[in-house]
């Protein structure tokens, strides 16, 4: 569904609420030309207590951390951005939604260095269902290992959620879709598993859970952190600094993606090789069930992970 088909009409931009169609920038905006922007993606869930943003504090703190490598100064503090986000959701009467804060170097000069370009910031929120399709959450998806490699942290900071870096994700994801797959898996420069284009990846083997460590050129995903905590609380052993070879994907008992958009999505095939029994495995289902129990507030556990609207 395109934005024009959604019942959304307001965006918060540079300290003000503006009409959706008026949230515009100049064509010579620095971030548009050089990818000098940072962003977040968070979900707000419909709960009995009302709309609740999942792990908002971690998301907004990561936005400020992402700004640091680019010496980007955000002229609004965390409290102001939080208040703006809550009011934005209220104004649009959204029970559940996806939230996209973005900051970027704006319009002034067009050298590669941002110079005196101002830092612009905006927050949008809109309804967004299952990222990889409703069927994917239950039945899993088919993926391919991309020919495109993930950049190393010595080249570009992988712990910053930078707009321009997602060209790498676009190339990998579109390659997969052209070849009939739902999504890609990207290897790092050493040829080991990094992540998906917009997801972290987990592997299950002999009842234990493995996920690439931060040194494997991955984003420190907030849903990744969540799943590690939930899995350990469920009694699973989690190896969260793993190095996973490409070949281990084919012999895994289970694989699944995690992310704010993807949530917990099983992987049933990699490069046409069936993973496990070819459906959502029992460990994945256990973790996925717990995840949705938590985010839909069907349990009182982990209440400090939520910011209520």
Supply the residues annotated as catalytic: 161
- Three-class secondary structure of residue 225 per DSSP: helix
Residues 172 and 183: their CA atoms lie apart, in Å, by: 8
Reported residue count of the chain is: 309
Q: Any residues with CB less than 8 A from the CB of 296 and at least 6 apart, and which?
A: 45, 46, 47
Contact 80, 34 (CB under 8 A): no
Torsion over CA: 134, 139, 140, 143 (sign): negative
Residues 287 and 283: their CA atoms lie apart, in Å, by: 6
- Three-class secondary structure of residue 194 per DSSP: strand
Query: Which residue blocks in the chain are alpha helix, DSSP H?
Result: 30-34, 56-67, 78-91, 134-139, 166-178, 222-233, 246-250, 282-295
Residues 116 and 107: their CA atoms lie apart, in Å, by: 9
């Amino acid at each position: 569904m395109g934005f024009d088909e959604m019942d959304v009409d307001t965006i918060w931009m540079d300290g003000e609420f503006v009409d959706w169609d008026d949230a515009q920038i100049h064509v010579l905006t620095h971030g548009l030309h050089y990818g000098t922007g940072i962003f977040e993606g968070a979900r707000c869930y419909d709960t009995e207590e009302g709309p609740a943003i999942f792990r908002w504090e971690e998301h907004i703190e990561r936005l400020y951390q992402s700004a640091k490598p680019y010496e980007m100064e955000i002229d609004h503090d965390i409290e102001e951005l939080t208040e703006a986000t809550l009011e934005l959701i209220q104004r649009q009467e959204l029970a559940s939604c996806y939230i996209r804060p973005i900051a970027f170097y704006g319009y002034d000069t067009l050298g590669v260095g941002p110079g005196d370009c101002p830092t612009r910031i905006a927050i949008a929120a809109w309804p967004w269902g299952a990222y990889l399709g409703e069927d994917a959450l239950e039945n899993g998806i088919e993926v391919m290992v991309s020919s495109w490699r993930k950049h190393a942290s010595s080249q570009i900071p992988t712990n910053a959620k930078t707009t321009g870096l997602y060209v790498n994700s676009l190339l990998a994801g579109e390659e997969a879709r052209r070849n009939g797959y739902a999504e890609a898996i990207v290897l790092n420069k050493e040829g080991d598993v990094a992540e998906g284009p917009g997801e972290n990846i987990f592997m299950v083997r002999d009842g234990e859970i493995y996920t690439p460590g931060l040194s494997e050129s991955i984003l420190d995903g907030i849903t990744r952190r969540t799943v590690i905590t939930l899995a350990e609380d469920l009694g699973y052993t989690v190896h969260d600094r793993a190095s996973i070879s490409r070949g281990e994907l084919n012999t895994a008992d289970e694989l699944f993606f995690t992310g704010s958009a993807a949530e917990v999505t099983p992987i049933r095939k990699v490069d046409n090789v069936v993973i496990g029994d070819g459906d959502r495995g029992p460990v994945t289902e256990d973790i996925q069930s717990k995840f949705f129990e938590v985010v839909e507030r069907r349990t009182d556990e982990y209440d400090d992970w939520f910011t209520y609207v």
